[in-house]
């Protein structure tokens, strides 16, 4: 990590925090505030790290917000993201050579590919200079952060998790949060759809323990590779070789058969007893909600090794925007060429960060025939990690730029009718809390490639409309109309809910000449004038099969928290919120410099 830190320092992308700060809430809260700033703020290096609870003062610094800007991503990759995408495109479209010069050119390209394959070294790596074995193993001696007050404990959040299949033929590198239970046990939050979970099933059926090695730090590209959505069985470290033009150099773990990059800062090795599950969580996750306690595999640590002077890498998750905004941007650009191999008529796609990525995708395509967009929806919902997408809007090639939200929204609303909606059911991310059952729920597709002729409603002012709505629904507190100039304005209504929202929607049918799209949200913890966080709330909270209502040209969306009024039997999680006393303490130390406006906007 030292080379990366110096690179950031040289490019004015690093802020060093020398004030003594606690791994419990203080450090992650400050990083959470920093990433909310314009362009992601700075990377933060905490050099005076303590654990007030145990009295431990750590020698190593903690680095956070490493990838949290477009500029830092490209600095750390050592090249532009576009150049990587172009290289992948070139490889995918490689054709047999026609003449001599074509053969020479292809030979050069093929020769360069030898560098993508990881290289196994003999002996030990610099990541194994310091060794902790047997009774010396103690995870509490690492500066693992507790980010939120309701978290089940400290969590490793930037771990590179190395696993292999039972026969050793396939290896996987993934990123999963890891809960520290005690000095030598970690909770392995690999969800049922992940490659590591597939390997786990193999070991479980064979009645064998599963080896795992977790690396932290080293070249930042290792960490990004752990998030890369490659097909099952493909080694993610191939992407390291492609990006860096040199192979990842690996050494064998001391107590497991797994190979890890020789220059990472930490390695935590161990074995998972496939017969032993333990409750993991809660954890304030990147959805902006706490994920609840669920049983997950447990790893018993068999060794911890480090560099002589390691740096501990961590990230902070919660409400958007977050570091994953920038990592996701790089991933989306780099893997676009691979996605086009499955969906060749795809022109562009974008996943807004305030919808938590999987909750909404905007896609531009060239429709060639009736129903093409709906066919695309099935393609997206059947491809790798895209299968977790809850809501997808498809537009034609004439649509505005996907990142131009205001213009794009107007384009969609001017051609929308309830006929545009396509509601289905499929798998969901394990982090989703809104569906009636875990892992499966409603999905919503909107076909905005077809322009329907729509007449605009008879608009009323906000005050006049609110008065009429309150006469019908006394539980309504306030409303605001967005995109009034379009043919389908969006009316956001806040309520103190005392009944199922469908009853509110049915009561509004008499006002359908004035309302086209109506969105209900709870009055508590929401601001109807804050469109950024309203999108975050609604895309998190809805299950399309349950929460979309249609009456004529009027469409209703129930974005409220669900409870027994809705026949919802699962536990509804709390929002991820900062601890006010910690924020005040950081202000008193002169470290918290996020403006009150930004604090309110992002509902910290």
For 122-166, the DSSP string reads SS--GGGSEEEEGGG--GGGS---B-STT-SS-EE-S-EEEEE-T
- Predicted pLDDT at 197: 79
The alpha carbon dihedral of 416, 420, 424, 426 has a sign of negative
- Predicted pLDDT at 381: 82
3-state helix, strand, coil in the chain (%, to 5): 35, 25, 40
| 462-566: in CATH 3.40.50.2300 | no
Distance between CA atoms of 260 and 200, rounded to whole angstroms? Answer: 19
Report whether 137 contacts 43 (CB < 8 A): no
What stretches in the chain show pLDDT beneath 50?
Answer: 94, 97-98, 100-108, 110-111
* Architecture of the 2-78+117-313 domain: Roll (2.30)
* pTM of the predicted structure, to 2 decimals: 0.91
Region of 41 please: left (phi>0), alpha (psi -120 to 50) or beta.
left
Which of 512, 510, 473, 515 is CA-nearest to residue 492? 515
- Predicted pLDDT at 107: 46
Q: String of b and e for 432-457 (b: at least 16 CB within 10 Å)?
A: bbbbbeeeebbbbbbbbbbeeebeeb
Report whether 312 contacts 51 (CB < 8 A): no
Region of 381 please: left (phi>0), alpha (psi -120 to 50) or beta.
alpha
- Predicted pLDDT at 383: 72
- DSSP secondary structure letter of residue 522: E
Distance between CA atoms of 360 and 423, rounded to whole angstroms? Answer: 14
Distance between CA atoms of 550 and 421, rounded to whole angstroms? Answer: 10
For 586, residues 6+ apart whose C-beta sits below 8 A from its C-beta are 26, 29, 30, 33, 592
Helix, strand, or coil (residue 587): helix
Distance between CA atoms of 473 and 504, rounded to whole angstroms? Answer: 7
Spell out the domain ranges in the chain: 2-78+117-313, 323-448, 462-566
Tokens of 128: 């194994």
Going by their DSSP bridges, the two strands 130-133 and 294-306 should be labelled as: antiparallel
Percent of the chain past pLDDT 90, that is, above it, reads 75
Distance between CA atoms of 82 and 512, rounded to whole angstroms? Answer: 47
What superfamily would CATH give domain 323-448? UbiD C-terminal domain-like (3.40.1670.10)
Q: String of b and e for 37-66 (b: at least 16 CB within 10 Å)?
A: beebbbbbbbeebbbeeeeeebebbbbbbb
Q: Do domains 2-78+117-313 and 462-566 have the same CATH topology?
A: no
């Amino acid at each position: 990590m030292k080379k990366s830190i110096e690179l950031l320092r040289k490019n004015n992308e690093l802020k060093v925090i020398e004030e003594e700060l606690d791994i419990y809430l203080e450090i992650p809260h400050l990083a959470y505030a920093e990433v909310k700033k314009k362009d992601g703020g700075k990377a933060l290096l905490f050099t005076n790290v303590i654990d007030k609870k145990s009295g431990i003062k750590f020698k190593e610094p903690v680095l956070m917000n490493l990838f949290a800007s477009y500029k830092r991503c490209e600095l750390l990759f050592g090249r532009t993201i576009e150049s990587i995408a172009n290289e992948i495109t070139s490889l995918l479209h490689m054709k047999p050579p026609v003449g001599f010069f074509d053969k020479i050119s292809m030979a050069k390209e093929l020769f360069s590919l030898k560098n993508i394959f990881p290289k196994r070294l003999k002996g030990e790596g610099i990541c194994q200079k310091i060794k902790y074995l047997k009774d010396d193993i103690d995870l509490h001696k690492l500066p693992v952060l507790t980010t939120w007050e309701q978290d089940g404990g400290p969590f490793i959040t930037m771990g590179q998790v190395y696993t292999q299949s039972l026969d050793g033929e396939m290896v996987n590198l993934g990123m999963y949060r890891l809960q520290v239970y005690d000095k030598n046990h970690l909770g392995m939050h690999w969800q049922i759809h992940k490659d590591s979970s597939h390997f786990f099933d193999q070991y479980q059926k064979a009645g064998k323990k599963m080896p795992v090695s977790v690396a932290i730090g080293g070249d930042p590209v290792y960490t990004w590779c752990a998030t890369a959505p490659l097909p099952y069985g493909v080694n993610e470290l191939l992407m390291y070789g492609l990006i860096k033009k040199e192979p990842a150099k690996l050494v064998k773990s001391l107590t497991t058969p797994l190979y890890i990059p020789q220059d990472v800062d930490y390695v935590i090795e161990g074995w998972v007893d496939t017969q032993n599950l333990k409750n993991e969580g809660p954890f304030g996750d990147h959805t902006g909600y706490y994920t609840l306690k669920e049983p997950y595999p447990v790893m018993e640590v068999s060794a911890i090794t480090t560099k002589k002077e390691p740096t501990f890498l961590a990230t902070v998750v919660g409400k958007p925007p977050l570091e994953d905004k920038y990592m996701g941007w790089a991933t989306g650009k780099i893997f676009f060429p691979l996605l086009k191999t499955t969906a060749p008529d795809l022109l562009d796609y974008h996943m807004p960060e305030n919808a938590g990525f999987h909750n909404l995708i905007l896609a531009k395509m060239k429709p060639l025939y009736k129903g093409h967009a709906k066919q695309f929806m099935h393609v997206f919902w059947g491809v790798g990690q895209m299968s977790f997408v809850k809501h997808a809007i498809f537009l034609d090639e004439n649509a505005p730029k996907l990142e131009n939200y205001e213009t794009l929204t107007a384009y969609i609303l001017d051609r929308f009718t309830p006929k545009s909606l396509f509601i289905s059911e499929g798998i969901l991310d394990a982090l989703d809390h809104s569906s009636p059952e875990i892992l499966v729920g409603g999905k919503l597709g909107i076909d905005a490639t077809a322009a329907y002729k729509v007449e605009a409603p008879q608009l009323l002012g906000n005050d006049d409309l609110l008065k009429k709505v309150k006469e019908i629904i006394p539980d309504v507190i306030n409303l605001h109309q967005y995109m009034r100039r379009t043919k389908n304005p969006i009316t956001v209504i806040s309520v103190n809910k005392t009944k199922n929202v469908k009853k509110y929607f049915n009561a509004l049918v008499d006002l359908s000449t004035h309302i086209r799209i109506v969105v209900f949200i709870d009055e508590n913890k929401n601001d109807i004038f804050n469109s950024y966080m309203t999108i975050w709330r609604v895309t998190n909270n809805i299950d399309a099969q349950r929460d979309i209502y249609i009456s004529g040209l009027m469409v209703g969306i129930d974005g409220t928290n669900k409870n027994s009024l809705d026949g919802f039997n699962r536990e509804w999680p709390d929002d991820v919120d900062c601890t006010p006393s910690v924020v005040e303490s950081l202000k008193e130390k002169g470290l918290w410099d996020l403006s009150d406006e930004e604090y309110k906007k992002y509902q910290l």
